[in-house]
């Protein structure tokens, strides 16, 4: 099976005063389609830089990164933006929802930029919200939703264009522990349905829900461990299809 993500000597340096900061140094990673992988490490470990590079939000100083077989480092800014829109869905800690728009409009938003007709945009957004368990709340604005529901809207928005990779940046960081468990159970259900997920976290309890953990320290990948994932749904006694 071809790799979804493949990096070779992936390196990112930033200028700092008279020298450079090695935010990421020589990272070699291969991730197959359908994997659920956690990238873990403390602040300054390199995990956020790794996320930015994998998400096509930045380009490496050195090395190679191939996403779904396409070499990212040689792409123009226009093609990079197009690849990001085609292949990747993003979920952030702080949701980034439009406060005056309802859940349905928030989920429809990414499709506006892709020229998808209004009727199809609405149908796909409704299906995405149903998929994350919010069919009955699609006409509520963010202020009318709980934090967990807002994150579900953000997940539906990330999924609506059918990306090959879901990138989650500290997705439970703004949530209480039970709601965080519910979101991780949802991620696991999505992964079982075939969605590839890379989740960046500093929390080992969150990383335990993935089937593989990449541990970063001082800009380097020092451990790549495969392990049986903890079942989040079982911890809260809630079935997730």
The answer to whether residue 241 is domain-embedded is: no
Domain region containing 214: 5-236
What's the rounded Cα separation, in Å, for the pair 63 and 86?
23
The model carries a pTM of 0.93
In a domain, 171, yes or no: yes
**pLDDT tens digits, 5-64:** 999 999 999 988 778 899 999 999 999 999 999 999 998 899 999 999 999 988 899 999
What tokens appear for 236 in the block? Answer: 């809260």
More confident residue, 16 or 100: 100
| CATH number reported for the structural domain that contains residue 97 in this entry | 3.40.50.300
User: Which has the higher per-residue pLDDT, 111 or 18?
Assistant: 111
Structure tokens at 143: 């202020």
**pLDDT at position 1, please?**
58
Structure tokens at 78: 């226009």
Contact 46, 58 (CB under 8 A): no
Question: How high is the mean pLDDT of the chain?
Answer: 93
3-state SS, the chain, equals CCCCEEEEEEEEEEEECCEEEEEEEEEEEEECCCCEEEEECCCCCCHHHHHHHHCCCCCCCEEEEEECCEECCCCCHHHHHHHHHHHEEEEECCCCCCCCCCHHHHHHHHHHCCCCCHHHHHHHHHHHHHHCCCHHHCCCCHHHCCHHHHHHHHHHHHHCCCCCEEEEECCCCCCCHHHHHHHHHHHHHHHHCCCEEEEEECCHHHHCCCCEEEEEECCEEEEEEECCCCCHHHHHCCCCC
Q: Assess whether pLDDT exceeds 80 at residue 237.
A: no
CB 221 within 8 A of CB 27: yes
- Total domains in the chain come to 1
pLDDT in tens, 199-236: 999 999 999 999 999 999 999 999 999 999 999 999 88
* Dihedral (Cα; 104, 105, 106, 111), 10-degree rounding: 100
pLDDT band at 239 (very low <50, low <70, confident <90, very high): low
Nearest to 240 by CA among 193, 169, 189, 181: 189
């Amino acid at each position: 099976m071809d790799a979804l993500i493949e990096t070779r000597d992936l390196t990112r340096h930033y200028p700092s005063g008279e020298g450079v900061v090695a935010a990421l140094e020589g990272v070699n990673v291969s991730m197959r389609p359908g994997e659920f992988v956690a990238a873990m490490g403390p602040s300054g470990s390199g995990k956020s830089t790794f996320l930015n590079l994998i998400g096509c939000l930045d380009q490496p100083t050195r090395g190679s990164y191939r996403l779904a077989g396409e070499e990212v480092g040689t792409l123009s800014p226009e093609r990079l933006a197009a690849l990001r829109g085609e292949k990747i869905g993003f979920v952030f800690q702080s949701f980034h929802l439009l406060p005056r728009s309802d859940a349905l409009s928030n989920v429809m938003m990414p499709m506006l930029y892709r020229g998808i007709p209004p009727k199809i945009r609405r149908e796909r957004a409704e299906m995405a919200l149903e998929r994350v368990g919010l069919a009955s709340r699609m006409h509520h604005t963010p202020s009318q939703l709980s934090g967990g529901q807002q994150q579900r809207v953000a997940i539906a928005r990330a999924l609506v264009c059918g990306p090959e990779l879901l990138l989650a940046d500290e997705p439970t960081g703004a949530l209480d522990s039970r709601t965080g468990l519910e979101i991780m159970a949802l991620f696991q259900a999505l992964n079982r349905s075939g969605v590839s997920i890379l989740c960046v976290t500093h929390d080992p309890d969150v990383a335990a829900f993935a089937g593989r953990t990449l541990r970063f320290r001082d800009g380097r990948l020092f451990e790549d461990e495969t392990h049986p994932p903890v079942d989040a749904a079982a911890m809260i006694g809630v079935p997730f299809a």
